[in-house]
């Protein structure tokens, strides 16, 4: 399914997004308690999933039904997650970058929905800015399909301009997927606004391999994907070195802004598969378990 295999989906169904905020929704989801034997109030049962604690299986129910169920507790409440995908030409004009960004948004939505959480997906600066709002595992695969097949109808607005007007309140987790190449003060204004909403924020910066390590040589014409302005330049080693230094400084300062507000930051490039990003990078950073 456009780079997302059924094998990967099977693995993702066993994972959950790690949300640090104490503000939770009032409805039950499938957030698994890791406090076996505690005094948490018992709620009901759910089907056993590979990776669950075997000690939580109710063997009395197994004896009657020959099926494995584990106890669910009242602290296993849903998390309301908002996912914002940068749909500007800066992202969508590069096929590999656009596809990987969509895959990442789609699979993160899939994980949340598979845990019976609530997801709001917003295509930012898209010509068809319809917000997808879904809840529950039954909606997981359809939502994944809808996001992966999103068309690249970019508007003339920048990502931060659009995001300012599209931020949703009362979300325990906000995930931003963008290439992060606008002016730093514009991102800080958005993140400062998010800081007042008291939820977890993940800032995922998706860049193309050539944006990180350009290998152009000789005389080239550079065209701004959003403004269409042109620049003729000779790509000498000194010019490339200066570009890389400025980019490195920009990335470092963007992470500092995220750190300032207690938000989590991750830089990835589109050469990585979505499997590597989720099951290696996100797990190693403690974002997914």
Of 6-20, 55-69, 217-231, least confident by mean pLDDT is 217-231
pLDDT above 90 for 200:
yes
Strand order in the sheet with 118-124: 132-135, 118-124, 80-86, 173-178, 200-207, 264-269
Band (pLDDT 50/70/90 cuts) for residue 216 is: low
pLDDT above 60 for 46:
yes
Alpha-carbon distance 125 to 154, whole Å?
Answer: 6
Can you tell me the mean pLDDT for 192-207?
A: 94
pTM for the full predicted model = 0.80
Mean pLDDT of the chain: 84
The full set of domain ranges for the chain reads 32-76, 80-284
pLDDT above 90 for 245:
yes
Alpha-carbon distance 226 to 255, whole Å?
Answer: 24
Can you tell me the mean pLDDT for 217-229?
A: 55
**pLDDT reported for residue 58:** 81
**pLDDT reported for residue 231:** 55
Band (pLDDT 50/70/90 cuts) for residue 54 is: confident
Band (pLDDT 50/70/90 cuts) for residue 78 is: confident
- Report for 19-28, 62-71, 109-118, 155-164: range of highest mean pLDDT: 109-118
Contact between residue 108 and residue 244 where contact means Cβ atoms under 8 Å apart = no
Can you tell me the mean pLDDT for 98-116?
A: 96
pLDDT above 50 for 39:
no
Q: What is the CATH number of domain 80-284?
A: 3.40.50.410
**pLDDT reported for residue 130:** 84
Residue positions counted in the chain: 289
pLDDT above 80 for 49:
no
Can you tell me the mean pLDDT for 114-125?
A: 94
Q: Could you tell me what percent of the chain has a pLDDT over 90? A: 59
pLDDT above 60 for 224:
no
pLDDT above 80 for 207:
yes
pLDDT tens for 139-178 read 999 999 999 999 888 778 899 999 999 999 999 999 999 9
Band (pLDDT 50/70/90 cuts) for residue 26 is: very low
Q: How far apart are the first and last CA of the chain?
A: 24
HEC per residue, the chain: CCCCCHHHHHHHCCCCECCCCCCCCCCECCCCCCCCCCCCCEEEEEECCCCCCHHHECHHHHHHHCCCEEEEECCCECCEEEEEEECCHHHHCCHHHHHHHHHHHHHHHHHHHHCCCEEEEEEECECCCCCEEEECHHHHHHHHHHHHCCCCCECCCCHHHHHHHHCCCCCCEEEEEECCCCCHHHHHHHHHHHHCCCCEEEEEEEECHHHHCCCCCEEEEEECCCCCCEEEEEECHHHHHHHHHHHHHHHHHHHHHHHHCCCEEEEEECCCCHHHHHHHHHHHCCCEC
């Amino acid at each position: 399914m456009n780079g997302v295999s059924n094998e990967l989906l099977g693995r993702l169904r066993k994972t959950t997004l790690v949300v640090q905020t104490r503000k939770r929704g009032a409805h039950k989801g499938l957030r698994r308690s890791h406090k076996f034997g505690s005094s948490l109030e018992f709620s009901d049962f759910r089907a056993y999933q590979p990776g669950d604690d075997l000690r939580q299986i109710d063997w009395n129910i197994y004896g009657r039904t020959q099926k494995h169920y584990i106890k669910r507790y009242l602290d296993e409440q849903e998390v309301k997650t908002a996912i914002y995908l940068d749909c500007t030409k800066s992202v969508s004009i590069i096929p590999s970058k656009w596809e990987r960004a969509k895959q990442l948004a789609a699979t993160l939505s899939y994980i949340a929905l598979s845990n019976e959480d609530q997801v709001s997906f917003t295509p930012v600066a898209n010509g068809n800015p319809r917000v997808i709002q879904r809840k529950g595992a039954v909606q997981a695969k359809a939502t994944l399909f809808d996001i992966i097949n999103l068309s690249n109808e970019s508007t003339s607005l920048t990502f931060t301009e659009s995001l300012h007007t599209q931020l949703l309140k009362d979300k325990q987790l906000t995930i931003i997927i963008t290439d992060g190449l606008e002016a730093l003060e514009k991102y800080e204004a958005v993140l400062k606004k998010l800081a007042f909403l008291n939820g977890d924020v993940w800032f995922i910066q998706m860049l193309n391999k050539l944006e990180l390590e350009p290998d152009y040589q000789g005389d080239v014409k550079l065209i701004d994907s959003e403004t269409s302005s042109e620049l003729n330049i000779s790509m000498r080693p000194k010019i490339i070195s200066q570009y890389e230094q400025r980019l490195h400084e920009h990335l470092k300062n963007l992470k500092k802004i995220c750190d300032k507000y207690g938000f989590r930051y991750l830089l990835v490039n589109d050469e990585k598969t979505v499997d590597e990003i989720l099951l290696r990078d996100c797990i190693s950073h403690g974002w997914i378990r």
